[in-house]
């Protein structure tokens, strides 16, 4: 299990192509994302006020963006907790491997866009909090 702390997760301001008819934000491998993107998924139709995502990853790195609406990401390294509110489509949270994370307080209609460094594999998940704490010791 990676020895990372919550303080290694950066809040990244992404550049915006500004236009009165709508803005564009671009994420491009080899340019403005610190890992190679192997998978993109998005979470939607989460009932307002709901939460999800209680787990950690051994190796997966992610960029999470509130593509629409707002939600909180609660990061936990076994010692420190850190709550980050995402509510701008041009701001990404870089989640490094080896952290417990929960997504909370979804606004209704919000969309959580996730860019991930690996394809989906259940072997990379730690879904039991006590097991996570033991691995961080
Ligand atoms: P999971 O990552 O456990 O979401 P959360 O922790 O937010 O509840 O994903 C829920 C289910 O969705 C998981 O059991 C399998 C499926 N899933 C995929 O098949 N591929 C994926 O890339 C993801 C993220 C989930």
Percentage of residues in the chain with pLDDT exceeding 70? 100
46-67: per-residue pLDDT in tens? 999 898 889 999 999 999 999 9
How far apart CA 86 and CA 93 sit, in angstroms, is 8
Do the Cβ atoms of 83 and 135 come closer than 8 Å?
no
Residue 60 CA, ligand 1 centroid: distance in Å: 13
37-47: per-residue pLDDT in tens? 999 999 999 99
Q: What per-residue confidence (pLDDT) applies to 53?
A: 80
> Hey, which residues does 112 pair with through a beta bridge?
43, 66
| Helix residue spans in 1-137 (DSSP H) | 129-136
Tokens of 31: 């340019």
How far apart CA 52 and CA 71 sit, in angstroms, is 11
Residue 121 CA, ligand 1 centroid: distance in Å: 9
How does DSSP classify residue 123? Answer: G
- For residue 52, the ligand 1 atom closest to its alpha carbon is 7
What residue owns the CA closest to ligand 1's atom 21?
120
Place of tokens 């671009």: 26
95-130: per-residue pLDDT in tens? 999 999 999 999 999 999 999 999 999 999 999 999
- Residue 96: closest CA among 9, 11, 14, 3: 9
What residue owns the CA closest to ligand 1's atom 25?
120
Looking at the chain, how many residues does it have?
137
pLDDT tier at 1, thresholds 50, 70, 90: confident
94 is catalytic: no
Furthest CA-CA distance within the chain: 51
Predicted model pTM: 0.96
Probe target for ligand 1 pocket from 56, 112, 116, 120, with the most ligand atoms within 8 Å of CB? 120
């Amino acid at each position: 299990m990676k020895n990372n702390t919550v303080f290694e997760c950066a809040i990244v301001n992404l550049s915006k192509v500004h236009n009165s008819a709508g803005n564009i934000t671009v994420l491009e491998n080899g340019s403005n994302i610190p890992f190679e993107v192997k998978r993109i998924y998005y979470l939607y139709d989460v009932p307002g006020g709901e939460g999800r995502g209680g787990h950690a990853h051994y190796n997966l790195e992610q960029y999470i963006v509130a593509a629409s609406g707002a939600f909180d990401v609660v990061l936990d390294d076994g010692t420190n907790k850190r709550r980050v509110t995402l509510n701008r489509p041009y701001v990404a949270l870089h989640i490094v491997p080896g952290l417990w994370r929960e997504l909370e307080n979804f606004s209704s209609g919000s969309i959580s866009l996730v860019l991930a460094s690996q394809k989906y594999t259940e072997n990379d998940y730690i879904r039991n909090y006590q097991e996570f704490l033991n691995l961080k010791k």
